[in-house]
Structure 1
């Protein structure tokens, strides 16, 4: 830590992606900046646990190559994005169905592409179960080896018909071609009501859009603002779903490493703030010209009583090491039937081989809402049904439950909540923008621009003006 008498222009409290993004904007403008982080590592909720060579994300938020801030934030030039396969898999009525996927992107490097085509793909047959073990092998748990009974597949299964696929392709093409300003000018409703109001059939909403938005927004009931849901679908339709190579913490670690040496100080707990002073538990006070709070919403409200704290969507991520990949492709598998706790799952080591030791397979699955008491057994039983394969030999590597994982965005939701509280005092984070990595990075940029304006430094770019709510 700097000496207590040392003065810096701006102190940033919190080394998540929002605070690190703001730090890059400030330091690149010549403003002396110190980032204080209470944890022993940077990244906040974007953390990755290392277990026996596996890399296990705490929340596992999905990214998309069309996020503008991934390209515009300084320090992320070396970020490698690993895309999922072009065809999303949806499990419904006991079968896997392929759903339309954006095309025309330039690969995993982050370039966005327009939705040039969304063709109907044939429904994939259910993956057969492997044969039983050799004689004398330990008996398997029936609840994990045999998928639970489900509705028998039908010839007219949801998303299996050409008409359903055509409607879905047309809906994605329309939203991909709609400018963001027009999306934000639409009437604001809960997402479920907004989708129904556009004339989309319930089969398309429940068979694809609900499970997709559940994966993107962590909100299976679609209570999120329809404008935020439109933004999520817009990003999906113009890019590719992907993961950062090496784990979620690769993004904040790249940002921190690209800052001037000594900018980020971990293990420093801030106890109080004002517009020109920060008090810490371990190192006394630090004077400054401004303070930028980049913590989660609860921590920010503890330092500045009166800040609004939103409600949150809880997320639980369950990681398993499995004997062999239950799928042959790096697809994101969505559950449309909602017959178990898992909302979506993937063979993550096929998407990003660096997340598992050579020759090992990692499956990561996301449970939304309050997890069941018998989480391990019910998740394994549900995964046996989703993948169509026994799971009794799957090894549990880790369970990460985050009660306040994703800030809720019910209507009306202000997409650009103020980041400037008064001259010298600013706040940023995904609770000030959209509850995504894109929103966190963007709020950090907005807060840095506000601080630069108060310091009399011309910002490198100006903030866009959004249209008024209709």
Structure 2
């Protein structure tokens, strides 16, 4: 006897708070809610926490999802994270700059005045440029005074910096931060970035950037995480999943990147723009230096914009006796280049010689949506409609700090609502 045809009924559940996305913003929101005694369900489209901040174990190497760093004086990070447990490892406050087929050290004059003095006559800018950089590092960057609608390039020129130091320092350095070398990013981000880098230590957790979201998630014992669970749509207070399941929530928090947030909020118009990046990780038996410093390309040729010898910063990034090199490409013309690895290797040989011949490619990360394009930075919109909130790095100057801070701010609004 055949069983009667019973129509399938998709499961349905209800929760006080549902957070879409278990990246830094979503985790910061969840931790703040938990501390206030409010339970939340976290829905994550991938198989682990972290969003764009993740680290993979690969044959004994620790590979972050693209080259990433954090700045240690981010105020929200200081409140939420246990820096001692992360065992943060610092970069040298400066950079090695490739110019006219030579390397020149540019150091922070406040922390390494002797090194900075030696660089005064390096061909990476005029003496006035270098003194201006030193002065602003001490007194603070406020190039937004020339006009908040200006691009970074326009603001640097308006402030009197020469084309040489723009091309030799700001373009490769800020290009690495913004993931674009045209310096079309808003001057507001320029001020934010330079003020933090001038007065702060740049670091990575000893065991990779993925330790940051893992530490946050460790505070959420008893919280329910559902991984590999993409949200298809949000209608009112109801979320619909790919398998047809629906979930109702008194408060919905969209803690995704800008692209997914716009989709879930059904924003009209084209999706938000992003800058992409490519990181090529090499294993090496020898490296050209043991200094934990960033290497910048100020020459007009070659795909590499910046390079980091990660094991100089933290030995844990590679097995004993080996090194990890991260070569970073931000020019979009190389995204589909079939010979990109060959071009990168040629550039590495020109820079460092024969020691690079035995470097082995471990992985090539192409991060299509590495960071939001922010030619203009508007006001945060944390509560786009009743019962629905959003947080993430796109709700301010794109950074780890903005992701964490907006996650906390959204949680505080929900807490205030529950107490009223």
Equivalences for residues 179-190 of structure 1 within 5 A: 187-188=147-148, 189-190=150-151
1:204-243 Cα distance to aligned partner (Å, 9 max, x none): 2222122221122212110000111111000000102222
- The residue aligned with 2:5 is none
- The residue aligned with 1:408 is 373
- 1:68–1:91 distance in 2 versus 1, CA, 3 Å: same
Q: What displacement does 1:53 show?
A: 0.4
Q: What displacement does 1:299 show?
A: 2.0
- The residue aligned with 1:193 is 154
- The residue aligned with 1:135 is none
CA distance in structure 2 between the partners assigned to 1:256 and 1:262 by the alignment: 9
- Matched length: 406
Asked if residue 334 in structure 1 is aligned to residue 299 in structure 2, the reply is no
- 1:217–1:62 distance in 2 versus 1, CA, 3 Å: farther
Match of residue 395, structure 2, among 432, 456, 460: 432
CA distance in structure 1 between the partners assigned to 2:401 and 2:113 by the alignment: 25
- The residue aligned with 2:118 is 122
- The residue aligned with 1:128 is none
1:363-385 Cα distance to aligned partner (Å, 9 max, x none): 01110032233110111111222
Asked if residue 209 in structure 1 is aligned to residue 205 in structure 2, the reply is no
Q: What displacement does 1:163 show?
A: 5.5
Q: Is the 8 A contact 1:14 1:38 kept in 2?
A: yes
Q: What displacement does 1:191 show?
A: 0.2
- 1:346–1:99 distance in 2 versus 1, CA, 3 Å: same
CA distance in structure 2 between the partners assigned to 1:25 and 1:60 by the alignment: 28
Q: Is the 8 A contact 1:100 1:165 kept in 2?
A: no
Asked if residue 32 in structure 1 is aligned to residue 39 in structure 2, the reply is yes
Normalising by the residue count of structure 2, what TM-score does the alignment of the two structures yield? Answer: 0.89
Which protein is richer in helix relative to its size?
Answer: 2
1:127-171 Cα distance to aligned partner (Å, 9 max, x none): xxxxxxxxxxxxxxxxxxxxxxxxxxxx96513876554343223
The gaps in structure 1 that reach 5 residues or longer are 105-115, 124-154, 458-470
Match of residue 276, structure 1, among 232, 237, 243: 237
- The residue aligned with 2:74 is 67
- 1:67–1:121 distance in 2 versus 1, CA, 3 Å: same
- 1:338–1:46 distance in 2 versus 1, CA, 3 Å: farther
- The residue aligned with 1:313 is 275
Asked if residue 450 in structure 1 is aligned to residue 413 in structure 2, the reply is yes
Q: Is the 8 A contact 1:102 1:239 kept in 2?
A: no
Aligned alpha-carbon RMSD (Å): 2.5
- The residue aligned with 1:108 is none
Asked if residue 373 in structure 1 is aligned to residue 338 in structure 2, the reply is yes
- 1:310–1:281 distance in 2 versus 1, CA, 3 Å: closer
Q: What displacement does 1:87 show?
A: 3.5
Q: Which moved more, 1:66-75 or 1:90-99?
A: 66-75
Q: Is the 8 A contact 1:321 1:395 kept in 2?
A: yes
- 1:442–1:337 distance in 2 versus 1, CA, 3 Å: same
Match of residue 101, structure 2, among 94, 100, 122: 94
- The residue aligned with 2:210 is 249
